[in-house]
Amino acid sequence: MTRKTFLCATPFAAAALFGADAAREAPELLLTDTTGKPLRLSQHRGKVVALEFMLTTCPHCQNTAKLMSRLEREFGPRGFQAISLPFNDDAVVAAPRFVSEHRVTHLVAAVQRDQVYEFAQLSAVVRHSVPIMVFVDRRGRIRAQFEGDAAFFQNEEANFRTKILELLKEPPARPKAGQPDGKQGTARTVSAVRPATSWESR
């Protein structure tokens, strides 16, 4: 199965140079899905969320997205949400076409590449393979993260199911005093800070 790699051609924030921290709070993502509706990661607080940072031209990413649609149909009633986030240079145009061509039924929204690096705390000076999977628990914490060349993808469906079921078993956080249900305070918002043209896809 072909996996694509991409490279940052310019330096990024120092905090991103040392890889991703374990069990950290997921930053907010402010996006627009392929139907034109606003999409915020925080609106799914209380659910287990699987984020696929992907390229629409990557066959492995395409197959992972199709798997995520199947798993959302199965586990969605129990609180699982799948979201694919293409970051091609032309992702705004490519994302709706991807949904139509591959008949995925879960949420898809274009994202800029710098947002991917900041959200996933990836190094800006080495190559990375896609898809990049990030699992967020019911409390809004990032609990697992895998790049496309990780062993996690060698038995992909079984490993997806294991991770989803593991996180679904956990109860959501109780709201703090003075906060409505599902709100645990304001998360840092990831914003694009450099143009996508400063990246190279291989």
Largest CA distance in the chain: 50
pLDDT in tens, 29-72: 999 999 999 999 999 999 999 999 999 999 999 999 999 999 99
Residue entry with tokens 């069990």: 23
Q: Which two tokens stand for residue 1?
A: 């199965």
Amino acid 93: pLDDT: 97
Domain membership flag for residue 29: yes
Number of separate domains in the chain? 1
177 found inside a domain: no
In a domain, residue 96? The reply is yes
Q: What is the CATH number of the domain that holds 96?
A: 3.40.30.10
Report d(CA 37, CA 39) in Å as an integer.
Answer: 6
Residue 182's pLDDT is 46
Confidence of residue 153 (pLDDT cuts 50, 70, 90): very high
Dihedral sign for Cα atoms in the order 27, 142, 186, 85: positive
In a domain, 62, yes or no: yes
Q: Are 138 and 172 spatial neighbours (Cβ–Cβ below 8 Å)?
A: yes
In a domain, 194, yes or no: yes
Whether 175 is in a domain gets the answer: no
Does residue 24 fall inside a structural domain? Answer: yes
The β-bridge relationship of strands 107-108 and 80-86 is parallel
How many other C-beta atoms can be found within 10 angstroms of the C-beta atom of residue 158?
9
Is the pLDDT at 3 greater than 90, yes or no? no
Q: DSSP class of residue 70?
A: H
What was the pLDDT predicted at 201? 34
% helix, strand, coil for the chain, step of 5? 35, 25, 40
Collapsing DSSP states into helix, strand and coil, what is residue 140? coil
**Res 5 pLDDT > 90:** no
Question: Measured on CA atoms in the order 71, 84, 107, 101, is the torsion positive or negative?
Answer: negative
* pLDDT band, residue 176 (cuts 50/70/90): low
pLDDT digits (tens, 9 = 90+) for 93-139: 999 999 999 999 999 999 999 999 999 999 778 889 999 999 999 99
- Asked if 194 and 10 touch (Cβ cutoff 8 Å), the reply is yes
Q: How many helices (H) and strands (E) does the chain have?
A: 4, 11
Is the omega angle on the peptide bond into residue 172 within 30 degrees of 0, that is, cis? no
Residue 192 sits in which domain range?
A: 5-170+182-201
- Name the more confident of 95 and 192: 95
In a domain, 176, yes or no: no
pTM over 0.85? The answer is no
The answer to whether residues 135 and 47 touch, using CB atoms and an 8 Å cutoff, is: no
Q: Which residue has the tokens 């949420």?
A: 107
